[in-house]
Amino acid sequence: MNIQLTEKKEQIFRSTLQLVNAGGFHGSPMSKIAKEAEVAVGSIYHYFPSKDDLIIELYWYCKEIINKHIFLEEQDNLPYDQRFRAVWKNVVLFYQDHADLFSFMEQFYGSPFYEDIRKNVFQHKCERNKIFHFLEQGLEEKHLKDLHVRILLAAYLGPAISLVRSSLYEKTKIEESQLDQLVDIIWNGVKK
């Protein structure tokens, strides 16, 4: 039973992701999502009480996929500065290769859906936000300047997002040397 539930939810997530990327949140009614996912509308409401719940759960589903690809076990034992660089590069390369997830996350972060999650992340230190905790670890271990974690997040992810965005819009691949140069600039700006 759980396997079917997971498969059906994933079908719904994939269809929602595709529709939101094509038509935005408002252009993706539950009826259209159900049709695209090839499930009954009632099935969607069985798993998600509302469209808002579906969108928020899709966000967390995407975050888990992203975290799985950017926090690699083989990099866990690297010194913090090397891991800082590796995780950052993983973010850029993952988003460059997964434009659908990047597009959804861009829309989500610019929407009212993100407001409650943002409050949760900063007020309750949500355990699902691995980058947040990775940067907190850097602060606690005195690898990073004593800055508010929100500032560190902006310094860490802002350039990555900007680089990915320009690469996707220009339809160009980011060169390894560009990745190294930019992550060095970031590290030199935030290291203690």
Q: pLDDT for 165-182, tens place per residue?
A: 999 999 999 999 999 999
* pLDDT of res. 177: 97
> In this structure, is residue 42 part of a structural domain?
yes
> In this structure, is residue 41 part of a structural domain?
yes
**Count of beta carbons in the 10 Å neighbourhood of residue 55:** 19
**Count of beta carbons in the 10 Å neighbourhood of residue 94:** 19
Q: Which of 10-14, 108-112, 120-124, 182-186 has the lowest mean pLDDT?
A: 120-124
Tell me, yes or no, whether 40 and 71 share the same domain. Answer: no
> In this structure, is residue 87 part of a structural domain?
yes
* pLDDT of res. 157: 96
Tell me, yes or no, whether 15 and 94 share the same domain. Answer: no
Tell me, yes or no, whether 40 and 111 share the same domain. Answer: no
